[in-house]
Chain A
Amino acid sequence: MDLLGPIHDILVIFLGSVLILGGLGVVLLTNLIYSAFSLGCVLFCISLFYISSNSYFVAAAQLLIYVGAINVLIIFAVMFINHSEYSNDSHLWIIGDGVTSVVCTSIFFSLITTIPDTSWYGIIWTTRSNQIIEQDLISNVQQIGIHLSTNFYLPFELISIILLISLIGAITMARQ
């Protein structure tokens, strides 16, 4: 969506702050149902990010599948499993949490220092020069459909078979 510059910036910054808080809430909230709703908020904001980066089909798929199916499934599972015992964390768990937080923050900062060092504009110029030739007036959804039925036909069918088999397996595992 090609909005005006400041509106787009404000929207992206707002979505980013909501996403940061929601990501912290998924991990750190003690009650599991609050954490599931926070995950739903994060997924919704990610779908709005997809809309702001011109890919409407993925935004609709994200909204339907993640927010509508996976998040509802997780909330149902949380309600079905009423856990209450939450105590006796031994000393080893605390040390493990500290080591893991150190490792994850080091991953985070190393990747953040890598991102501005990469010369994105060189890559953009080399790819833009190829794209001028294949300029056409097909919309994004039509482009995705054409690719799914020509180039990516075999992975598409394999994904459908994987979904069928995994759902049958989930039903047979959950109904006994």
Chain B
Amino acid sequence: MMFEYVLILSVYLFSIGIYGLITSRNMVRALMCLDLILNSVNINLVTFSDLFDSRQLKGDIFSIFVIAIAAAEAAIGLAIVSSIYRNRKSTRINQSNLLNN
């Protein structure tokens, strides 16, 4: 069955996104893995919308909302990363302790 194959691919993207999000040392790579997670959710939404709801297509609309939120998240995240880099001269994820001292 083809849609189960697509679901397995989305599970793969989700788990590898979580792995990269937790273990990455760089903040930009963490943002990339967050994009992978949101994309796996989008794949699920579009697949189920095509399969179960092919007249109404509400899953497509939710995936468009998720894409818009991901755009806002990437803009804010990269602005924060560049601001931290300007202060600390580093983007390692364990050196951003500006609130600490």
Contact = CB atoms under 8 A, between A and B. Distances in A.
Main secondary structure of the interface of A (DSSP, over half): helix
B61 A42 contact: no
Contact of A162 (B2, B69, B74): B69
Given A144-B57, A174-B82, A163 B26 contact: no
Interface string A65-100: 110011001100110110101100100010011001
Interface size class of B (residues with CB under 8 A): 35 or more
A40 B40 CA distance: 14
Interface residues of A, number: 80
A134 B35 CA distance: 36
A12 B36 contact: no
Interface in B1-52: 1-9, 11-20, 22-26, 28-29, 31-33, 35-36, 39, 42-43, 46-47, 49-52
A46 B39 contact: yes
Contacts of A86: 25
Interface of B: 1-9, 11-20, 22-26, 28-29, 31-33, 35-36, 39, 42-43, 46-47, 49-58, 60-61, 63-65, 67-76, 78-83, 85, 90-92
26 contacts: A13-B5, A16-B9, A19-B13, A26-B16, A27-B20, A39-B35, A46-B43, A58-B46, A58-B67, A66-B39, A70-B70, A70-B71, A70-B74, A74-B74, A77-B82, A81-B82, A86-B25, A104-B15, A107-B15, A108-B15, A120-B1, A148-B64, A155-B65, A162-B72, A163-B71, A176-B83
Interface of A: 8-9, 12-13, 16, 19-20, 23-24, 26-27, 32, 35-36, 39, 42-43, 46, 49-50, 53-55, 57-58, 61-62, 65-66, 69-70, 73-74, 77-78, 80-81, 83, 85-86, 89, 93, 96-97, 100-101, 104-105, 107-108, 111-112, 115-116, 120, 123-124, 127, 131, 134-136, 140, 143-144, 147-148, 152, 155, 159, 162-163, 166-167, 169-171, 173-174, 176
